[in-house]
Amino acid sequence: MKFGKEFVSQMVQEWQQAYMDYNFLKKLLKDVWNFRHRNASTSASDLMTPKGTLKRRLSLYRAFSGLTSYHNSLRSSLGKNNEDEVILVSAAQQPEDHDSEGSYQTMFLMSSEEGGEYELVFFRRLDDEFNKVLKFYKAKLNEVKSEADELSKQMDALIALRIKVDNPLMQLNGAYKSTNGRAPPPDSVVHSNNVGKQVVAMSHMDAIQEVEMGSEGISEDQMRTGGRESKSNHQRMRDKSNLNVAEGFAFPELEVLDHVRVNVEPETPVSTLKNVFVSSKSDLSFSKEELKKAEDKIKQAFVQFHQKLRLLKSYCFLNLLALSKIMKKYDKITSRSASKTYLEMVDNSYLGNSDEITRLTERVEATIIKHFANGNHREGMRLLRPQSYRERHSVTFFLGLFSGCSISLVAAIIVSIHARNLLNSKERGRYMENIFPLYSLFGYIVLHMVLFAVNMYLWRCFRVNYPFIFGFKEFVGYREVLLLASGLSVLTLAAVLSNLDMEMDSGTKSYRTITELVPLGLVTVVLFILFCPFNTIYRSSRFFLIQCSWRCLCAPLYKVTLPDFFLADQLTSQIQAFRSLEFYVCYYGWGDFKRRSNRCQESHVYQIFYIIIAVVPFWARFLQCLRRWLEEGDPVQVLNGLKYFSTIVAVVMRTIYDLRRGTFWKIMAAASSGVTTIGSAYWDIVMDWGLLRRNSKNPWLRDKLLISNKKIYFAAMVINILLRLVWMQLVLDLQEAPFLHRKALVAVVACLEILRRGIWNFFRLENEHLNNVGKYRAFKSVPLPFYHDGEKNRQPHCTF
């Protein structure tokens, strides 16, 4: 693989604008090479004059005619005696900060030569790129230092809390507690037996070990400089600890807990309601549960902090390597030796000479190993190393197997239907009214999973960082999603075929109960797999889906995150799937499934829930918009909430018209659906996709696009509008296809809505990704458990 492609593949995508523009610099060098190539060809053709004499260029005599005296005087004034010097690099100090390193400027000494203007442009752009990288690196390093200071304070509070909670001395001595935070001297403690003495001795050693670990932890100065303590410092710490034991053990820095508050209560509906009336900032209760929750939060913060250090170090290394590569290309094309001078400047600069990231990384690793892995180096590094996604051959094999089986089962079902002539059968209507809605549920799910897998593949091709956007704890690729979809399709198609075979065979007609229970058994199997607590079939991903679904259902009692409202948007396209679940309950609970008959549509309770179930996803999105408006104060969320509220009205009107019919309900359904279609289509294209920007670089699109072919965006906008108009087929009673039952037409409309959602998903996440890139947002905010009295007005967090 060429370096240019490898350079792009290893970028942090949210920081891609801050990397050196390696490809553009290569284009500038190509211009230099083209000029030299043309000039060499011209020189070769003009070497001989018409008389056959050698034609000599004026430049050959410049070294003897004194025309280079300007460069010689310049070199001597700058202390450069090497006549082969090509460039001179100097650092311009910032006027507002005389102590900081400024930008770098390169002076090209051969600009007077023919074609030197091309090389001059190259060095100017090279300086711009290097200064851009240097500025970004400094800014990120300053952020890292401030975050390290915050983590230092958090660790001080955590170590003090550990000593307070785990110290048996204070528990054995009851109410005795000195005002300065010291335990009573050992000689003042009377124990009844030797066991008590052993307990006290062990508690002393535990406390000493905790204090030593705390002294070796990340203090504010150490995190700022990243330095290590010397051996003598360690010895002094141990001597001091031993002295404290002899004098009556002292708990250092316990007074920090007097100025610290804690918020370790997880966000739940109960805690959200409690915070409405009671402040979330609570005093320390010194309980083990509180300590464990605080440890988990700080450990998560350190893991994320280590990841940022790792990526920042990779950013520095890649740019240094790109600078080295581009300068070597320059030397090769121009036959000069400028790379040595320029790379010496790079090595002496802040980018090449700073080792603060390395020191901070070592301190973080040492802290994780000592404080959160019980000194186990392997376990500590396992916590810090991110799990890389590895494609497995078994997934690909079973994906191909299940896909082939699905195609074969579809062909078998078509043959079975044709053999029995079911399309013209008298039982066709009863089958479509009772059995088809049961199996169509799985068709909706499989189609949605396939489209989402396609989206994942396209996001991966266009380098959209969707694992970070969604916050996946364990990465699952598109192959795994396709594997689950194909497996579910095999189960569904096999159930459909078995149902048809049982009815075709005269020997199995007596087992009509078993025949009709096949769909219910299939639903049971799917639900069992979804809620299976064992670590199998991607348990972390299943639980992540269940957690997000629960947060959507409990809106607005949870803080709204992108996975929550993104999943809620997916659920709004699965209305018919929810109605199929309701039909399962009615058909097997109150219907006569043995005779394939039900009166669900005649039940008022069923009709009410038929409307409620369709409204629930839109209502959840409406409440999520209100929650975001209250927290963020963004009036756009109010407009978004009104959009979903209008959709609720349209869904209710369409459902009532579908159940009762009538001219009035038809007009209301058409009017409300028309209004919400216009508003939703505009919101999809303008707000969610960020398109239709009149003054953008790409007319009526965005300034930045991932797809080079702009026609795809215009086609997606047209398709989105057309697919949003499919409701007209149901409301306006347009001519139905003779071979389609109304239930089949409803299923087709639902599938088209799922298809529209699949298209929406790609462009919605593309816009989100580009927003993150524009803000260099590559890490999420991690909440921290402790905050000091001086920070009462803000929730502590460490932005990574």
Lowest model confidence (mean pLDDT) among 84-98, 241-255, 417-431, 781-795 = 241-255
Q: Please compute the mean of the pLDDT values over residues 289-313 and round it to a whole number.
A: 87
Residue 445 pLDDT exceeds 90: yes
Contacting residues for 492 by C-beta, under 8 A, at least 6 apart: 439, 442, 443, 446, 522
| CA–CA dist 114, 457 (Å, integer) | 50
H/E element, 343: helix 339-348
Residue 385 pLDDT exceeds 50: yes
Decide which of 381 and 773 is more confident. Answer: 381
pLDDT tens for residues 6-50? 888 888 888 888 999 999 999 988 888 888 878 766 655 554 444
Closest CA to 433 of 311, 591, 283, 239: 591
| CA–CA dist 373, 461 (Å, integer) | 38
The full set of domain ranges for the chain reads 394-791
Phi-psi region of 105 (alpha: psi -120 to 50; beta: other; left: phi over 0): beta
Produce one character per residue of 543-564: b if its CB has 16 or more CB atoms within 10 Å, e if not: ebeeebeebbeebbbbebeebb
Res. 792 pLDDT band, cuts 50 70 90:
very low
790: number of Cβ within 10 Å: 7
For residue 550, the model assigns a pLDDT of 93
Q: By the 8 A CB rule, do 501 and 421 touch? A: no
For residue 597, the model assigns a pLDDT of 79
pLDDT tens for residues 137-185? 999 999 989 898 888 888 888 888 888 887 645 444 443 343 344 444 4
Q: What is the dihedral of CA 81, 87, 89, 92, to 10 degrees?
A: 110
Residue 651 pLDDT exceeds 80: yes
Decide which of 448 and 299 is more confident. Answer: 448
Q: Please compute the mean of the pLDDT values over residues 612-623 and round it to a whole number.
A: 95
Residue 684 pLDDT exceeds 90: yes
Contacting residues for 780 by C-beta, under 8 A, at least 6 apart: 304, 468, 471, 800
For β-strands 87-92 and 260-262, DSSP reports them as unpaired
pLDDT tens for residues 704-763? 899 999 999 999 999 999 999 888 777 666 555 566 788 888 899 999 999 999 999 999
Res. 237 pLDDT band, cuts 50 70 90:
very low
Q: Two tokens at 654? A: 């369409």
- Read off the amino acid at residue 556: P
Residue 416 pLDDT exceeds 50: yes
H/E element, 781: strand 781-783
Q: Please compute the mean of the pLDDT values over residues 518-531 and round it to a whole number.
A: 92
From residue 34, alpha-carbon distances to 116, 237, 342 in Å are 13, 67, 23
Q: Provide the mean pLDDT of the chain.
A: 78
Res. 504 pLDDT band, cuts 50 70 90:
low
For residue 279, the model assigns a pLDDT of 53
From residue 146, alpha-carbon distances to 155, 158, 225, 406, 782 in Å are 14, 19, 12, 56, 14
H/E element, 797: strand 797-799
Considering the chain, what percentage of its residues have pLDDT values greater than 90? 32
148: number of Cβ within 10 Å: 24
The distance from CA 229 to its chain's CA centroid, rounded to whole angstroms, is: 37
Q: What pTM, to 2 d.p., does this model score?
A: 0.79
Closest CA to 563 of 578, 586, 580, 545: 545
DSSP string, 167-224: -HHHHHTTT---TTSBPPPGGG---SSHHHHHHHHHHHHHHHHHHHHHHTS--HHHHH
| CA–CA dist 750, 756 (Å, integer) | 10
| CA–CA dist 773, 462 (Å, integer) | 13
Residue 245 pLDDT exceeds 60: no
The distance from CA 708 to its chain's CA centroid, rounded to whole angstroms, is: 24
Produce one character per residue of 745-767: b if its CB has 16 or more CB atoms within 10 Å, e if not: ebbebbbbbbbbbbbbbbbbbbb
pLDDT tens for residues 685-696? 999 999 998 888
